[in-house]
Structure 1
Amino acid sequence: MVKLHIKQGDQSQFLYDTTVEIPINDLLKDVVAIYNGRLKVQRICAEIEELAKHGITLPPNMQGLTDEQIEDLKLKDEWETKCTPSGGAVFKKDDIGRRNGQAPNDKMAEVLNKTVKEAKDMISKEKVKIDVCVTQATVKEALDILRGAVTIVYPMGLPPHDPIFAEFENTEDLSWNTGKASLEVIEEANASIWFSGKEWTRGKQIKDFIGKNEKTKIIAKLQKKGHGAPAREPVVSEEEQKKMMAYYYKKQEEFKKLEAEAEDSYMDSPWADNNQLKRQFHGIGNVKWGPR
């Protein structure tokens, strides 16, 4: 099997097992699905962490308003009583006014936070270091355990305007978000994959670019079309560069120490004695003076 170390820019994403016979079209479809799936898991995890702290999201027309404004406008969150967490709610006000403050109790919050950590570990970039591949099945399993944890804590479900609900139903709308979340997502039709400064063109197979050797591990870079060729990988990795810098710093310090010792020791040399010539004329050149 060919092992691809998928990167986006200079950031490691995940390892992907495949074969040299796979068409580039199929490869892109699968890799993009995993890449976007990991982003979805990360978004859901971030929202569930807030859910554990401050409860469900307020209706859009109430978000960001102060208590006085809500009272003046006579607005009411009808979902507050419908979506009560198991074991009862604990009031923890959301200072930014996005969630209703009816948070799960500590036991239920722990269920959510523990599951978030487990899901993050499943799709973590650290899996690259331990040589573990990520698949669509991995992403699906992470989503399933997150959905299960939310169902345990909120058996009546979440309101339809809650971003977690939208993510699970695949109806999320990131168009409002001009920040990182919306920019990171890559559409399969707009995706390209590069290796060694060359784009893998659709309609071909991996073997057309790297040969027929199945026992190969390479770094492939995923990005949006039209961004040009990604930067080539450095000859020396960041970790190796740090080791080299540490080694040369150590050598430099050792050299400085030896140099300092040499500067001090030359005073004991015969040629550094201002009276040596005088003693030789008097025939006492070999006399060694003891302590006074």
Structure 2
Amino acid sequence: MVVIHIKKGDQSQFLFETTVAQPVDDFIAQAVQVYNGRLKIGRICDEISELEKHGLTLPPNMQGLTDEQVTELKLRDEWGEKCTPSGGFVESRDPIGRRNGRAPTENIVQVLSKTRKEARQMISKDLVAAGQAVNMARIQEALQILSGAMTIAYPMGLPPHEPIRMELQNEEDLSGTQASLGVIPPGDASAWFSGKEMQAGKLLSDYLGRNEKCKAIVKLAKRGQGPPAREPVVSEQEQKEMMAFYYRKQQEAKKLEESRDDSYMDSEWADSQQLRRAFHGLSDIKWGPK
């Protein structure tokens, strides 16, 4: 299996295992699916983190309103009353008015927090250094454990407007959000290897060769944005190590210069003219008063 290091811009993303006989079209589609799946897990974990603090999301027509405005408009969060967390809730008002302020109890928060961290670790960028590849099976497994944790926390289910539910059911609408900027539309993706765009209709072997044990760096981008920046000759870590090395050398030279003792230059053996005076018979001349 060939191992491909997927990047987005200059940011490392994940390792992807495939074969050089795979068509470029299929490779891009699968790599983008994994890339977007990792973003989805990140969004869900962020929402769960907020849910742990302030409970479920309010209906869109109640978000950002004060209690007086809610009373005046005679609005009611019916879903919040139906979908109560297991074991009751703790009052925790949301300062921005997005959630209903009914946070789960400490035991449920621990379950959600542990599951959230586990899911993040399954798709972490640290897996690149560990040499572990990420595929859709791993993405689905992470989504399943997140879904299971939410079922434990809310056995009555989640409101239809809750972002976590929409994400788990692939019904999320990211239009107009900051999160949408990072997502790569499946039909609008391009892949770049060695500064060249990988063309549809070709095989990976046309770019990577026929060695199944090779490793390569491929960058994903949205089509029409032009080629991504080339890989630097020296990595950021190597640059830091080089700067530290030369700084140490500079400090050592400075200390040596400060501690250098030139008194030996006054010694007889250090006189560069001693041999010449010896040949001229001038070495034993004693200078004194007449």
Fold equivalence (TM over 0.5): yes
Matches within 5 A, 1:21-100: 21-100=21-100
SS in 2 for 1:5: strand
Counterpart of 1:117 in structure 2: which amino acid?
A: K
**Residue 230 of structure 1, aligned match among 228, 231, 246:** 228
Shift in CA distance, 282/107, structure 1 to aligned 2, threshold 3 Å: farther
Distance of 2:102 and 2:58 partners within structure 1: 10
Structure 2 counterparts to residues 270-289 of structure 1, below 5 A: 270=266, 281-282=287-288
1:220 partner SS = strand
2:133 corresponds to 1:137: no
Structure 2 CA distance for aligned equivalents of residues 245 and 206 of structure 1: 38
The offset of 1:281, in angstroms, is 3.0
- For the residues of structure 2 that align with 1:204 and 1:80, how far apart are their CA atoms? 53
CA–CA distance in structure 1, aligned partners of residues 131 and 49 of structure 2: 28
Provide the secondary structure at the position in 1 that maps to 2:142.
helix
| In structure 1, distance between residues paired with 2:31 and 2:287 | 90
The amino acid that maps onto 2:213 is: K
Question: Equivalent pairs: percent with the same residue?
Answer: 59
Which of 207, 214, 217 is the matching residue for 1:216?
A: 214
Q: CA RMSD in A?
A: 1.3
Partners of 1:140 and 1:228 in 2: CA distance: 32
Q: Which residue of 1 aligns with 2:15?
A: 15
Contact 2:208-2:216 at 8 Å conserved across structures: no
| Number of residue pairs aligned between Structure 1 and Structure 2 | 271
Take 1:122 and 1:14, find their aligned partners in 2: how far apart are those partners? 11
2:275 alignment counterpart: none
TM-score (norm 1): 0.90
Map of 2:262 onto structure 1:
266
- Please state if 1:206 is matched with 2:212: no
Match of 1:277 in 2: none
Q: Which amino acid aligns with 1:219?
A: I
Q: Deviations over 1:215-263 (max 9, x none)?
A: 100111001111111111111111111111111110010011111112x
Cα drift, residue 268 of structure 1: 6.0
> TM-score by structure 2 length?
0.91
Counterpart CA distance in 1 for 2:265 and 2:54 is 78
Cα deviation code 1:77-100 (max 9, x no counterpart) = 111220100000001111010000
Query: In the TM superposition, what is the alpha-carbon distance from 1:267 to its structure 2 partner?
Result: 4.9
CA distance in 2, matches of 1:15, 1:282: 87
Partner amino acid, structure 1, of 2:262:
Y
Shift of 1:269: 3.8
Runs of 4+ in 1 over 6 A off after TM superposition: none
CA distance in 2, matches of 1:47, 1:106: 17
Quick one: which of 233, 238, 241 aligns to 2:239? 241
- For structure 1, the 5+ residue unaligned runs are 272-279, 284-292
Looking at structure 2, the residues matched to 124 and 135 of structure 1 have their Cα atoms a distance apart, in angstroms, of 12
Question: Quick one: distance in 2 between partners of 1:143 and 1:196?
Answer: 34
Residues in 2 aligned to 1:63 and 1:282: alpha-carbon distance in whole angstroms:
105
Match of 2:119 in 1: 119
